[in-house]
């Protein structure tokens, strides 16, 4: 299929991947609207990609070995146990294989941005106010201008303007807990030899858990410490996060920071509590847990991908993977059909079911790891492995395999 003007709303990882897929798939006019005017590459938090999913995405031309990454091979589960023999890391419950690559969001975005076709019109600082979709095209309203396209792609995250236009009744639902996140240079880490560079730490406590892994720093081959802590805030301290929003770095209120300090001091083993406390206020941000999935990923001449189509809680270990898989399937749909209608229908048939599986997995893992946690102190390796198999269910952790 050749020709057609396409608007991509959103220029982050999903949007750049969509533009690349469109270029390879034959679209001739590609415009990318990105609301942020600054450098997206400055974002420095981490994400992880399962090795098997990496192999698929490398074959699809979205990832490659030149993008800075850190190799993980195992994850160790710890729980606080104040018995002196257990040491500062806490009691080790189990060790499991963890075949993942970790990335720094900013450098990964920059690598994908370089792959956007040169002919594409990438417009930073262009916030889309509204989208109107018709049976034969779409109108995008941004910056006082209205432009018409043959197709519009919503890659604009969980507050998607494109999704609002085609699925106005689908809104993210607050799960009742938050993710505190931080990332900082590994030189700040005390006693780094206690935590191997190829290991991910899962530190569990009643009502939540902490995940810690290293990511590239994006400059000189060094590393950053990346951590995510999930737990519910005390009543009244959610800062209005039940509605779709987030708290950027440096904006968490005193109450939330006090609660984080309590978790670090009283619920985490000393080493991991110190690791969290080493994060400065300007490096700390909060991500409320929401989930939803649109009933259809293509409606008329609008297509949804990434978090605009479905938000699965990060417990799945597959957020970026899903967005890149969406782009891979979009390219395949474009190159194997003769019309836009057929291409969008093929994409919808392939990706909507996959999104539902990942959202269901995120909810199940959220219950197991945060909302209905077991008594961690009673678990040994066998008990934890049995519990994890039940929590993972379909074995989709890290992302589902792409099929032909």
Q: What domains appear along the chain, each with residue ranges and CATH number?
A: 5-44+106-172+292-362 (3.50.50.60), 69-99+175-290+370-392 (3.30.9.60)
**Whole-number pLDDT of residue 215:** 97
Over range 310-332, report the average pLDDT: 95
Q: With beta carbons less than 8 A apart as the criterion, state whether 35 and 122 touch.
A: no
The residues that bridge with 303 in the sheet, in sequence order, are 153, 298
Q: How far apart are CA 38 and CA 18, in angstroms?
A: 21
pTM: 0.94
Over range 63-70, report the average pLDDT: 95
Which residue has better confidence, 312 or 241? 312
Which residue has better confidence, 31 or 84? 31
**Whole-number pLDDT of residue 39:** 61
**Whole-number pLDDT of residue 16:** 97
N-terminal to C-terminal alpha carbon distance within the chain: 19
Over range 324-335, report the average pLDDT: 96
Least confident of 67-71, 173-177, 228-232, 348-352: 173-177
Q: How far apart are CA 11 and CA 155, in angstroms?
A: 7
The residues that bridge with 123 in the sheet, in sequence order, are 33
Label residue 130 by pLDDT band (50, 70, 90).
very high
**Whole-number pLDDT of residue 239:** 55
Over range 322-343, report the average pLDDT: 96
**Whole-number pLDDT of residue 172:** 84
**Whole-number pLDDT of residue 189:** 93
Among 269, 310, 281, 175, CA closest to 231: 175
Label residue 41 by pLDDT band (50, 70, 90).
low
Label residue 173 by pLDDT band (50, 70, 90).
confident
Above 70 in pLDDT, residue 84? Answer: no
**Whole-number pLDDT of residue 82:** 80
**Whole-number pLDDT of residue 254:** 84
Half-sphere exposure of 138 (CA within 13 A, CB side): 32
Over range 216-238, report the average pLDDT: 86
Over range 318-343, report the average pLDDT: 95
The residues that bridge with 291 in the sheet, in sequence order, are 173
Name the H helices within 167-215: none
Above 90 in pLDDT, residue 364? Answer: yes
Over range 293-305, report the average pLDDT: 95
Percent of the chain with pLDDT over 90: 79
pLDDT tens digit sequence for 228-277: 999 998 887 665 666 666 777 777 888 889 999 999 999 999 999 999 99
Percent of the chain with pLDDT over 70: 95
Among 360, 353, 358, 341, CA closest to 303: 341
Q: b/e per residue, 253-282, with b = 16+ CB within 10 A?
A: eeebeebbeebbeebbbebbbbbbebbeee
Over range 200-215, report the average pLDDT: 98
Which residue has better confidence, 404 or 91? 91
Above 60 in pLDDT, residue 40? Answer: no
Label residue 43 by pLDDT band (50, 70, 90).
low
């Amino acid at each position: 299929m050749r020709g057609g003007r396409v608007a991509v709303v959103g220029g982050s990882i999903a949007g750049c991947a969509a533009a690349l897929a469109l270029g390879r798939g034959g679209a001739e006019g590609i415009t990318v609207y990105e609301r942020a005017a600054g450098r997206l590459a400055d974002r420095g938090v981490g994400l992880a990609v399962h090795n098997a999913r990496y192999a698929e995405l490398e074959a699809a031309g979205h990832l490659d070995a030149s993008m800075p990454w850190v190799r993980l091979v195992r994850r160790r589960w710890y729980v606080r146990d104040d018995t002196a023999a257990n040491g500062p890391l806490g009691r080790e419950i189990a060790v499991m294989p963890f075949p993942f690559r970790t990335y720094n969001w900013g450098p990964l975005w920059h690598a994908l941005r370089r792959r956007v076709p040169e002919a594409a019109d990438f417009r930073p600082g262009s916030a889309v106010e509204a989208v109107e979709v018709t049976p034969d095209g779409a109108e995008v309203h941004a910056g006082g201008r209205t432009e018409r396209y043959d197709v519009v792609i919503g890659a604009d995250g969980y507050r998607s303007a494109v999704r609002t236009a085609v699925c106005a009744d689908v809104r993210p639902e607050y799960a009742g807990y938050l993710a505190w996140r931080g990332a900082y240079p590994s030189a700040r880490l005390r006693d780094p030899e206690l935590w191997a560079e190829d290991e991910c730490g899962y530190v569990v406590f009643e009502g939540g858990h902490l995940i810690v892994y290293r990511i590239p720093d994006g400059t000189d081959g060094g590393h950053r410490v990346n951590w995510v802590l999930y737990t519910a805030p005390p009543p009244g301290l959610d800062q209005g996060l039940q509605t779709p929003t987030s708290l950027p770095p440096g904006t968490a209120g005193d109450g939330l920071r006090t609660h984080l300090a309590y978790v670090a001091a009283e619920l985490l083993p000393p080493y991991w509590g110190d690791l969290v406390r080493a994060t400065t206020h300007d490096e700390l941000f909060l991500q409320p847990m929401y989930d939803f999935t649109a009933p259809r990923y293509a409606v008329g001449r609008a297509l949804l991908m990434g978090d605009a189509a479905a938000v699965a809680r990060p417990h799945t270990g597959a957020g970026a993977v899903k967005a890149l898989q969406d782009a891979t399937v979009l390219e395949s749909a474009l190159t194997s059909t003769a019309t836009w209608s057929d291409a969008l229908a093929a994409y919808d048939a392939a990706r909507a079911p996959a999104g539902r599986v990942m959202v269901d997995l995120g909810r199940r893992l959220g219950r197991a790891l945060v909302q209905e946690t077991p008594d961690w102190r009673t678990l040994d390796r066998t008990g934890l492995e049995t519990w994890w198999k039940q929590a993972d269910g379909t074995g989709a952790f890290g992302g589902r395999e792409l099929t032909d």
